[in-house]
Structure 1
Amino acid sequence: MSEVKKVLKRSEVPAELTWDLSIVFKTDQEFEEAFKSLQGQAHSFKKYQGTLKQGPKKLLAAVQVLLDIYRQTEKVYVYASMKNDQDTTNSRYQGMFSRTQAMVAQLEGEMSWFDPELMDLGQKKVANYLIQEPKLKEYSHMLTDILRFADHTLSSVEEKLLASMGDIFEAPEDIFSILDDADLEFEDVTDEKGDQVELTDSTYSQLIQSVDRDVREQAFNKLYTVYHQFLRTFAKTLGSHVHIQNFSAKTRNYASARQAALNKNNIPESVYDNLVDTVHQHLDLLQRYVKLRQKILQLPDLSMYDLYTPLTGKPELNYTFEEGKKIALKALSVLGSDYVAKVQEMFDNRYIDVVANKGKRGGAYSGGSYDTPPYILLNWNDDLDSLYTLVHEMGHSIHSQLTKQNQPYQYGDYSIFVAEIASTTNENLLTAYLLEHETDPVVRAYVLNYYLDGFKGTVYRQTQFAEFEQWLHEKDAAGQPLTADELSAKYLKINQKYYGQEVGSTPQIADEWARIPHFYYDFYVYQYATGFAAATTLSNNILDDRPEDTTAYLNYLRSGSSDYSVNIMKNAGVDMTQVEYLESAFAIFEQRLKELEKILVN
C-alpha cells in the first residue's frame, strides 16, 4: 500500500521557505514589551479629550499622538496575527493573537472619543484650524474624511462602548477560522498514482484540478461531506456575523450594511450594482465556456467538480518556487527596473512564507504594517496557480512598498478597493507574458484556459458571492432567520443561474457558502471582480508600451490613501463609476474564449 503523503509540521519546514518575523520583533519577549508599552500609551491619550476646541495646536498634538499609537499597534498586531497564521494549532500563538485582539479593542475604546469630538468642531472650524496651523495641512485629507462620517458617528460614550466590543464583534470570524483551519478533518484521497493524499484546504485546490475525474469527485465529495456535518454551526456563525454588521449599520444611521461598507472608502453603491447587472448581461459567455468544457472533456454530464481541471490535460507547466521567482521577475519587468528591484528584495530577505504546513492558514495574502516588510503568506504547490498567486500577492506587496516610500503614515495604506487592482494587474501581465513566449498550441491552450478559469473565478464567481452576500444581509435585516437549509437553497439557486440548470445543480455545491472566509469580510468580494476588470484596462495600457500609461499606473501605486479610491483610479486611467471598464473586460474574455475554441475545436 502506498504511503500517505503528510503535510509537514511547522518545525519540519526549511527556514529559507519561512518568513523571518524577527525583522518585526527580534524575540517574543520584545513583542511583549511593545505590547505592555502600548497599553499605557493608549490610556494617556485620554488627557487630550476635551482639548480640541482649545485651538489648532491642541488638535495637531492629539492627531500626532493618535497616529503614533495606531502605528505601534499595527506592528504589534501584525506580529501576533502572522505568528498565529503560520500554525493555528499552536496554542501559545493563539493566545498571543487573542490577547492582541482584545487589547486592540480596548485601545480603540480608549481613543474612540477623537472622531466625535472632531465632528463637534464642524467643518468650518476645522477649515480655520488648517489655515491657522500650517502643520495641520499634511493631515487635511484625513481630517476631511473623518468629518464625512458626521451623520454616522455617535456620541463619545457610545463610540467607546462599540469600540470596546470589537473583539466580541469579531468572534464569528474567529470561530469560523479555528473551525475551518484547525478543527476540520477530512478523509484521505487516492490520487492518479494510487497514492493516499491528505485532504486539506491547500491540497483540495490541487486535487480538484486533477485530470482524473475520479480524483476530482473523491476530493469534492469528501470535502463537502465534512462541511455538511457542521452546516448548522457554520450557518449560526455566518448568521451571527451578518446580524452584527446589520446592527452596526443601523446603529450608525446607514440604510444598509452594504452602504456602510462601501462608504468606508467613499465608493458609490452604483459601482456594486453596475457590476452585478453587467455580469448578468454576460452570463451567456460563462455558460458558453462551460459547454466548451463538457465538449472537450468528452463527459456525458458536467458537474461543479469538473470546472477546474485543465481542458487540454496538464502540459509540463510545473514550477518549483525558484523557477516561479524567475518567471515572475521577467513577467513584471515591463513595470520598470525599480519595481523589479523591489520584487527581488522580497525574494532575498525571507519576506515570504512559502509552503504549507500542518495548521497553517490556507490560501494566501500580503500582510504587514507601515514599519514592517510587506510579508506574503503562500501555500506553494509547484503549479501554475501558485505562480499566479505569487505575482498576485506581489502586486499587493510592491503597492505597499511604493505607498510607504511616497506617503506619510496617515496616507501610508490604501483601500481594499484599489488593492485588488494592483494584484490583478500583475496577473494580467503574467498571462500576457506567457502567451507571448509560448508557441506550443497545447501550452498556449492551457494558458488561455487558465486565464478563462481565472476570469470565471474572479469576475463571475466573486460577483456570485457578492449577490449571495447582499441577499444574506437583506434577509437578516428583514428579521428572517438564516438557517442552514435556507442558505444552501438560495446558494444553489444562484449557482444554477450562473452556470446553468444542469451544471449548477450539483447537490453538494449548495453548501459551498460554508467554506468561504470572505463572507466574514463585509462586502469585500465584489472588489475582486471590479479590480480584475479595471486591471484589464490598465495592463493593456502598460503593454501598449506608452511610458505615460506606465507612469500613471505607478503613480497610482504611490498614492496610498492620499485621495479617494475612485479619484485615484480616474487619474490612473479608469473611471469605475461607469460600465465601460467592465465591458472591456468581457470583450477580452470573449476574444480569448474564441482563440481557445479555435485551437481545441477547429
Structure 2
Amino acid sequence: MKHYQSREEIPVSEKWDLTDIFSAVKEWENSCRKLEKLIQDIGRYNGNIHDAKDLLDYLKLDEKISTEYNLVYVYAMLSGDLDTRDTKSQSLLDRASQLGVKIKAATSFFMPYLLSIKEDVLKSYIEETEGLRYFEKDLMDSYRFKDHVLSKDQEEVLSQLGEALSAPSKTYGMLNNADIKFGEVTLENGEKTELTRGMFSKLIEDENREVRKEAYKAYYKPYLQLKNSIASTLSSSIKNNVTLSKLRNYPSALEKSLFNDKVPEDVYNNLIETTKKNVGLLHRYNEVRKEKLELTELRQYDLSVNLVRDVKKEISYNEAYDIMMKALAPLGEEYLNILGSFKEKRYVDVRETPGKRSGAYNLGVYGVHPFVLLNHHDDLDSLFTLAHEMGHAMHSYFSHLHQPRISAYYTIFVAEVASTVNEVLLIHYLLNEAADADLKKHLINHFIDKFKGTFFTQVMFAEFEKITHEMAEKGMPLNLEAFNDVYEKLFSEYNGEVLQLDEEVKYGWSRIPHFYRPFYVYKYATGFASAIQIAEKLLDGDRLMQKSYSEFLKSGSSDYPLELLRKTGVDLTKPEPIEQALSQFKSLLDDFAKQ
C-alpha cells in the first residue's frame, strides 16, 4: 500500500470536490456576510411576532438561515479535516462557529415565546395559515419541551455561552488530531517508521507479538503524557453536560440526552443489562483467542491480531467498491444505481495523508450531496469501513431526496442502522464467495471482531458514560484517578479474567473522542442489533422487508426513531433485538471454535 505524504500525490478521482458547495473561499465569505445580515433581520422578530403571518415569516427566515449556515459550517469543517494543521482552515471554522453562536443568540427568544402561546391558539394559527402546516409537527412537538425551556433572558445567556461550553471538546479535538505524535516504531524488517493511527491499526494486527507490543506502547505513550490535561477536558465536558441538564430541569444528563428522540431510559438500561448477562460470551472468545495464539497470557495488544494466518490480502479501493456493490444486491436496483454513481462524482475522499482527520465519516449536505471521509488502507478493514460509510451516505441521499428540509436529517439514533446493514450483507457475501476453508474461518473471525468492536465495546463505553455522569451528578470527584478506576473495572468485567491488564489499559478512556458527545455510543450497539434483524430478512429474500427498509431510508426524521424502526419490525423497547444479536454472536463463536 502506498503512503501519501501530500494531497498533491493523490489521484483527483479519490479526492472531494468542495466546489460543489462553494466555488472558492471568496464565495464562502460572501455567504458569511449574507448570514450576518440575515441574523440581524431575524433578531428584529424578538418581541415582534404578533400573529400567524409574523410567525410564518419568522419560521421561513429561520429555515433559510439554517440552510445557509449549514453550507458555511460544512465547507469550513470539510476543508479543515483534510489537514487539521492548516491555520487558514482553522480560521474558517472559527468564523463559522462564531456565526453559529450569533444565530443561537438571535433566535434564543423564540422557544420561550412559542411556549407562551396556548396550544389551542397555535392550532388555530396553523389551521388559518396554510404555510404553517409545513412546520406543524415541529411546532406542536415543542410543547414536550415546555418544562425544559428557560426564560427568554436565560436562554440568551446560555446561547452566548455556547462557544465556551464546547471548549473542552474543541481542545481535545486539537490535541487528538493535530498535536499528538506517536513517534517511531520498528518494523519486523528492522526499519523504523512513523506511527500514525492508520499504521497503528495495521501493526496491532501484526503476527509478530513484539511489533504489536511496541506499537501498542508507542500509541498510548502520548495519551499517558497528556493524561492530566485530557482528564481535565473530559471532566469539564461531563460537568458542563450535567450542569446544563440541571438548568433545564431534567432528572439526569442521560434523560436529557434521550428526551429529544423520545427514547425511554429503559432502552439504554436494557441494552447494558442484557449485554452484561451475556458478557460470558466475550470472556469465552478471549479464551479461544488465547488458545489459538498459543499464549501463556493474553494482553490487550493480542486482541486484534488475526487468528487465521496467511490469508490477508490487499484489496484496492476500486476492487473494494466493486465487491461492496455485489454484496449489497439484496437492497435492490435503485440503491445500487445511485451508490455506483457516488464514486465517479467524487463524493469520497479516500486516502490518509499527514494531518488529515483520523477515522471515517459521512456528512450529508442538504441541497448538495453526501461527503464521505475515509483513510483507506487497501485491506479488509477498509472494505468494511467503505461499506459502512456508504450506508450512511445512501441514508443521507435518500432522506434528503424524499423529505423536505425540515425532516430531511435523520437522527443519530437511527444512523448506525443503515451502515451496519451494509456490513452484515457484506460479511455474508464474502462468506458465500469464499472457496477456501481458511478464508472462511478468517472472515468469521473478522465478523466476530467487528461484532465485539461495534457492540460489546460500545456498550462498555455507554456504561462508562452512565457511571461517570452519575458520579458528577452526585458531586463525586471526576479526575484522572476516577476515570482510570471506572474504566479499568469495566474493561476487566467485559473481557474476563483471562486478559492480563497492562498499565495502559486503564487510560483507554483518554483516546475516545465520542465521550465528548454524551450518550452517543450506545446508538452504535442498538443500531447494530437492529441491523442484524433487518439484514437477516433481506438475506432471506423478504421483499416486504426490502420495501419497508427502503421506506425507512427515505424517512429522515419524519417520525420518532423508535417508531421508524418499528415499521421495519424492530422493537428496541424489548430485549429481543439485543438477545437476537447476541445469539448470532454465540453462533459465530461456536462455528469458529469448532474449526
TM over 0.5: yes
- Contact 1:7/1:357 (CA < 8 Å) preserved in 2? yes
What is the aligned counterpart of 1:375 among 371, 376, 379?
Answer: 371
Change in Cα spacing, 1:236 to 1:423, as seen in structure 2 (3 Å) is same
Match of 1:158 in 2: 154
What is the aligned counterpart of 2:506 among 510, 529, 534?
Answer: 510
Letter in 2 for 1:44: D
Separation of aligned partners in 1, 2:125 and 2:105 = 26
CA deviation vs aligned residue, 1:159-194 (integer Å, no higher than 9, x gap): 122112211111111111111111111221222333
What is the aligned counterpart of 1:228 among 224, 227, 234?
Answer: 224
Separation of aligned partners in 2, 1:595 and 1:520 = 38
Task: Out of 139-148 and 334-343, give the one that drifted further.
Answer: 139-148
Separation of aligned partners in 1, 2:76 and 2:186 = 37
Q: Does 1:42 pair with 2:36?
A: no
Q: Does 1:585 pair with 2:581?
A: yes
- Contact 2:392/2:419 (CA < 8 Å) preserved in 1? yes
Letter in 2 for 1:28: V
Separation of aligned partners in 1, 2:435 and 2:359 = 31
Q: Does 1:238 pair with 2:234?
A: yes
Q: Does 1:424 pair with 2:423?
A: no
Task: Out of 119-128 and 79-88, give the one that drifted further.
Answer: 119-128
Give the alignment of 1:145-224 within 5 angstroms: 145-224=141-220
Separation of aligned partners in 2, 1:248 and 1:357 = 38
Letter in 2 for 1:38: L
Give the alignment of 1:386-425 within 5 angstroms: 386-425=382-421
- Contact 1:141/1:563 (CA < 8 Å) preserved in 2? no
Letter in 2 for 1:294: K
Give the alignment of 1:17-416 within 5 angstroms: 17-52=14-49, 54-416=50-412
Letter in 1 for 2:323: I
- Contact 2:298/2:500 (CA < 8 Å) preserved in 1? no
The secondary structure found in structure 1 opposite 2:118 is: helix
Task: Out of 62-71 and 133-142, give the one that drifted further.
Answer: 133-142
- Contact 1:10/1:87 (CA < 8 Å) preserved in 2? no
The Cα of 1:314 is off from its aligned counterpart by 4.5
Separation of aligned partners in 2, 1:144 and 1:196 = 62
- Contact 1:495/1:504 (CA < 8 Å) preserved in 2? no
Separation of aligned partners in 2, 1:144 and 1:217 = 57
Change in Cα spacing, 1:528 to 1:504, as seen in structure 2 (3 Å) is farther
The secondary structure found in structure 1 opposite 2:567 is: helix
The Cα of 1:7 is off from its aligned counterpart by 5.4
The secondary structure found in structure 2 opposite 1:149 is: helix
Match of 2:549 in 1: 553
The Cα of 1:421 is off from its aligned counterpart by 0.8
- Contact 1:403/1:413 (CA < 8 Å) preserved in 2? yes
Separation of aligned partners in 1, 2:369 and 2:189 = 41
Task: Out of 358-367 and 497-506, give the one that drifted further.
Answer: 497-506
The Cα of 1:122 is off from its aligned counterpart by 3.1
The Cα of 1:348 is off from its aligned counterpart by 0.8
Separation of aligned partners in 2, 1:192 and 1:140 = 63
The secondary structure found in structure 1 opposite 2:44 is: helix
The Cα of 1:504 is off from its aligned counterpart by 5.6
Separation of aligned partners in 2, 1:504 and 1:149 = 48
- Contact 2:365/2:371 (CA < 8 Å) preserved in 1? no
Match of 1:9 in 2: 6
The secondary structure found in structure 2 opposite 1:503 is: coil
Separation of aligned partners in 2, 1:236 and 1:514 = 10
Quote the RMSD (CA, aligned, Å). Answer: 1.4
- Contact 1:89/1:359 (CA < 8 Å) preserved in 2? yes
Separation of aligned partners in 1, 2:199 and 2:102 = 38
CA deviation vs aligned residue, 1:463-497 (integer Å, no higher than 9, x gap): 10011111111111222221112211221111000
The secondary structure found in structure 2 opposite 1:366 is: strand
Separation of aligned partners in 2, 1:411 and 1:193 = 55
Q: TM-score when scaled to structure 1?
A: 0.97
Separation of aligned partners in 1, 2:187 and 2:424 = 31
Letter in 2 for 1:429: L
- Contact 2:549/2:568 (CA < 8 Å) preserved in 1? yes
The Cα of 1:11 is off from its aligned counterpart by 3.8
The secondary structure found in structure 1 opposite 2:389 is: helix
The secondary structure found in structure 1 opposite 2:117 is: helix
Match of 2:432 in 1: 436
Separation of aligned partners in 1, 2:500 and 2:534 = 33
- Contact 2:283/2:498 (CA < 8 Å) preserved in 1? no
- Contact 1:122/1:147 (CA < 8 Å) preserved in 2? no
Letter in 2 for 1:207: L
Structure 2, unaligned stretches of length 5 or more? none
Q: TM-score when scaled to structure 2?
A: 0.98
Change in Cα spacing, 1:110 to 1:454, as seen in structure 2 (3 Å) is same
Task: Out of 57-66 and 355-364, give the one that drifted further.
Answer: 57-66
The Cα of 1:589 is off from its aligned counterpart by 0.7
CA deviation vs aligned residue, 1:17-47 (integer Å, no higher than 9, x gap): 2111111111011111101111110111122
Separation of aligned partners in 2, 1:6 and 1:553 = 39
Separation of aligned partners in 2, 1:504 and 1:38 = 56
The secondary structure found in structure 1 opposite 2:499 is: helix
Identity %: 36
The Cα of 1:200 is off from its aligned counterpart by 1.5
The secondary structure found in structure 2 opposite 1:192 is: coil
CA deviation vs aligned residue, 1:276-319 (integer Å, no higher than 9, x gap): 00110111100111111111111111011111111102514321
- Contact 1:20/1:351 (CA < 8 Å) preserved in 2? yes
The Cα of 1:48 is off from its aligned counterpart by 2.4
What is the aligned counterpart of 1:527 among 507, 510, 523?
Answer: 523
What is the aligned counterpart of 1:487 among 483, 486, 489?
Answer: 483
Give the alignment of 1:462-481 within 5 angstroms: 462-481=458-477
The Cα of 1:363 is off from its aligned counterpart by 0.5
Letter in 2 for 1:518: H
Separation of aligned partners in 2, 1:502 and 1:267 = 36
CA deviation vs aligned residue, 1:218-261 (integer Å, no higher than 9, x gap): 11111112210110000001111111101111110011111111
- Contact 2:287/2:498 (CA < 8 Å) preserved in 1? no
Separation of aligned partners in 2, 1:367 and 1:64 = 24
Separation of aligned partners in 2, 1:594 and 1:324 = 29
Separation of aligned partners in 2, 1:539 and 1:122 = 45
Aligned length: 594
Separation of aligned partners in 2, 1:403 and 1:312 = 40
